[in-house]
Structure 1
Amino acid sequence: MKLSKLFARKSKSEETEVAERKSKTREWLDAMVFAVIAATVIRGLLFSAYAIPTGSMEGTLLTGDYLFVSKLSYGPRMPITPVSIPFLESRLGESKIKTYWEGIKLPYFRLPGLGEVNRGDVVVFNYPPDSDNPVDMRVHYIKRCLGIPGDVVSMRDSRVYINNQLFKNAPEAQSSFLVSTDGNGINPELLKDLNIEIFQQVNTTDYIMIIPPASFDDFKSRNNIKSITEVITPHGVYDENVFPQSKLFRWNQDNFGPLTIPAKGWTVRLNDTTMALYRTAIEVYENNKVEKSAGKFFINGKTAETYTFKMNYYWMMGDNRHNSEDSRYWGFVPEDHIVGKAMVTWLSTDKDASPLDKIRWSRILRGIN
């Protein structure tokens, strides 16, 4: 082949074809980049979609519900860890592979929102004890806010009191009951129809069950049901798993408090009792070094008799009271962990249902209260 042939100039039609091919590729790339940027902005500033993996909020929210969560309700939180892979959790599956880079960390800042976190709101937040990850990369939890900054929260025989006033349960909140039967078996289809869950079988006749309020009277009227008694851990019975995990406070999941929720600007006197309650907030969430020596407390190397909080805090609990890991076990939720307000269920699926019944049509586009 002649050299002149090897280096022959392309025809105009060939050049046009290559240019069009490059133009179409560029258009696709531009569209993909724009879509990623737009989705990231919407997810970061306006709303995000989340799925419910557990039953801690039943019967308000069901396992398999998919939610839209408003960032505007409380103000969008600006990224604290800005370098991360969009739309992924902090770790890939069960592995330890991170989807973010900690080389750049920004201070906590939140844009103005439409309002504040209120009692009764269903809130998505980052799980405070997840200390292996930065605040905005921590696992997402969803619970109902029962206490806001400055409130005094307590529980008496499974009833929540805020500022010494009984706090009304959510309409579909659930609790557990000891069910005594006459020994005859309980029809599994009946339990399924009434959305009743067997939590534990105590013996051949007695069960601990989680019963929705709407199903209680129907279930109790059945011939083989002898009695139904609400399960309540008595006052004074110490549960080492319940916040603050200190024998100074003999609290349990049904009886605890009174406990003041820290508010920004609130000053607390430091002693063994208050440090049992607030040390994690002071040391971990507000990034102070706390030490005790010769009966005195030191914060960042300086003697301290009091401490003034820099952030607001909240008390979050699940509606399924005896099947929820919440503030009763790990304490306060700092304001910089708040993600947004759950607004609407846009889809709901039942993994145990038949293919034709997988979708719970009655829950689609259902508001969350």
Structure 2
Amino acid sequence: MLQYFVFSGIFTFFLHIIHVLGTYNFYKKFRISYWKTIIPIYNVFIILKKIHRPVWWIFLLFIPLTNIILFLVIWLDLIRYLHKIKKKDIFIFFLSAGLYIFYINFFKNINIKKEKITENNEGILSSLILSFIIHTYIIQPFVIPTSSMEKSLLVGDFILVSKIHYGLRMPISPICVPFFHNNILGLKSYFNIKFPYFRFHPINHIKRNDIVVFNFPKDDKILDRKDHYVKRCVGLPGDIIFIKKGVLFINHKKEKNFTNNKQQSYFIKTKNIPLNLEFLKEKMDIEDVEFFEEKNDEYFYQIILTKKRVTQIKKLFNNIIFIKKNIYPKEVKDPSIILSNNFGWNRDYFGPLYIPKKGDTIKINSKNIHLYNEISCYEGEKKVNLMNRKNYKVKKNYYFMIGDNRHNSFDSRYWGFVPEDHIVGKPLFIWMSIDWDRKNPMNIFHWKFRWNRIMTTIDR
């Protein structure tokens, strides 16, 4: 905690120096004395009064990230107080991320308007700043782009995620474009400057089967700028994960039926008449249907279904020859699965695998070396071959995440554990849900609102 706020204080002090250097002549024209110009915090208080902004904005100085926005607003206001200000100056100001203030301060003749600027945008700015604080520190909106969590979360669900339930993680990349995660129009939306990791005490600890939003561990960006994923936490630190015939076992016990939304892939064969795909989509909300072939009046499909839908389809369609799970045989090795090269695992035959917890001392061997080399990188060590060590002491807690759409989810089976510092928050609420054309989601003419999902809470 102390380290984080020391870094934050040093960063704010550098902002103060930049502010003084970039606005010195403005202060001079406002007839503010030299000593008031250089005193941190007080100089901001003085200039807020001069440009007729609320003095309570001074508190924004003490909030990481928000202090940058405060300085940008002040600089923009100072530019607007100039005589002969042009629209191109405002444009260049934003294009230069505010640094245009230096050019004006040192190379332009500064003449301050005597009259007060009457344009009233105070409410808009206050709302934007408040929105940014809520977005950064309390609750953040996300949209579900893939079907890995169907039917719990659908493609096109717009959700609100609490950042405080599992402990607020303070911002790590201090210089970024507000409201943009890691890119804007194909360009990076942040600078590679980072604070130390710090997280406040959680309101709730992650429980088994919680739906969790987290940063993708394999991403090479700064921690809080890594891509966001949402999955279900099926394994806690210290658990043993095992999958047999597509069935998940946790600590040698079959997983409980925590949700009716879990899906898997099924093969379906019909006789004489093909499946009515329009009926499946419109009446049964079944999206993932793949037609294989038609042979001798027999039709073959692969469909992602819940157990409930399997039962319903059997009752509705009399021409079904069989419905069976699409389970990979045990002897089929899937190279994309972690440790598959050593153990021959696949998505339906996986483990047993122990989930490391903080304080564990793990014996290193040729079969787990790859996994713990990755863990050592997550824990800030240089990438070295751990075979030089007999044991490795784990410094963080780790979690195992799987999508409810078990056969259509890129999850911990493929890329490993989620470190505790990658946890973002807990999904709470669906505020909007749109059923769009998955092949062309920007075609708004094919959008349909899912009224039954709008303004609903997210079940665990």
What's the TM-score, normalizing by structure 2?
Answer: 0.69
- Conservation of the 8 A alpha-carbon contact between 2:369 and 2:387: no
Aligned to 1:71: 163
SS of equivalent to 1:168: coil
Aligned to 2:425: 340
Aligned to 1:11: none
Question: Residues of 2 paired with 1:189 and 1:111: CA distance?
Answer: 49
Aligned to 1:291: 384
Aligned to 2:343: 249
Question: Residues of 1 paired with 2:375 and 2:276: CA distance?
Answer: 48
Aligned to 1:189: 278
Amino acid at match of 1:162: I
Amino acid at match of 2:233: C
- Conservation of the 8 A alpha-carbon contact between 1:349 and 1:359: yes
Amino acid at match of 1:362: N
Note the C-alpha offset of 1:329: 0.5
Amino acid at match of 1:264: K
Aligned to 2:127: 35
Question: Residues of 1 paired with 2:444 and 2:189: CA distance?
Answer: 36
Note the C-alpha offset of 1:311: 0.9
Aligned to 2:174: 82
Identity %: 40
Aligned to 2:83: none
Question: Residues of 2 paired with 1:216 and 1:191: CA distance?
Answer: 12
Note the C-alpha offset of 1:291: 3.5
Note the C-alpha offset of 1:40: 2.1
Rate the CA distance shift 1:196–1:183 in 2: closer, same or farther, 3 A: farther
Aligned to 1:5: none
- Conservation of the 8 A alpha-carbon contact between 2:362 and 2:391: yes
SS of equivalent to 1:67: strand
SS of equivalent to 1:202: strand
Rate the CA distance shift 1:344–1:198 in 2: closer, same or farther, 3 A: closer
SS of equivalent to 1:82: coil
Does residue 175 of the first structure (1) align with residue 264 of the second (2)? yes
- Conservation of the 8 A alpha-carbon contact between 2:234 and 2:400: yes
Note the C-alpha offset of 1:224: 2.0
Q: 1:215 aligns with which of 309, 323, 342?
A: 309
Question: Residues of 2 paired with 1:216 and 1:186: CA distance?
Answer: 14
- Conservation of the 8 A alpha-carbon contact between 1:345 and 1:367: yes
Question: Residues of 2 paired with 1:270 and 1:365: CA distance?
Answer: 49
Question: Residues of 2 paired with 1:242 and 1:356: CA distance?
Answer: 37
The worse-fitting range, judged by mean Cα deviation, of 148-157 and 272-281 is: 272-281
Amino acid at match of 2:217: P
Deviations 1:310-330 (A, max 9, x none): 111100110011111011100
Identify unmatched segments of 5+ residues in structure 1.
1-16, 299-303
Does residue 228 of the first structure (1) align with residue 323 of the second (2)? yes
Aligned to 1:48: 140
Report the structure, 1 or 2, having the larger strand content.
1
Aligned to 1:127: 216
- Conservation of the 8 A alpha-carbon contact between 1:268 and 1:274: no
- Conservation of the 8 A alpha-carbon contact between 1:196 and 1:212: no
Note the C-alpha offset of 1:356: 9.7
Deviations 1:114-162 (A, max 9, x none): 111111111111111111x111001111000001111111111111111
What's the TM-score, normalizing by structure 1?
Answer: 0.85
Does residue 200 of the first structure (1) align with residue 290 of the second (2)? yes
Rate the CA distance shift 1:240–1:34 in 2: closer, same or farther, 3 A: same
Note the C-alpha offset of 1:90: 0.5
Report the structure, 1 or 2, having the larger helix content.
2
Count of residue pairs brought into register by the alignment = 335
Question: Residues of 2 paired with 1:276 and 1:18: CA distance?
Answer: 68
- Conservation of the 8 A alpha-carbon contact between 2:328 and 2:346: yes
Question: Residues of 1 paired with 2:261 and 2:311: CA distance?
Answer: 14
Amino acid at match of 2:184: L
Deviations 1:76-124 (A, max 9, x none): 101111111111120224x2x110011x211111011211111111111
Let me know the Cα RMSD of the aligned residues: 2.1
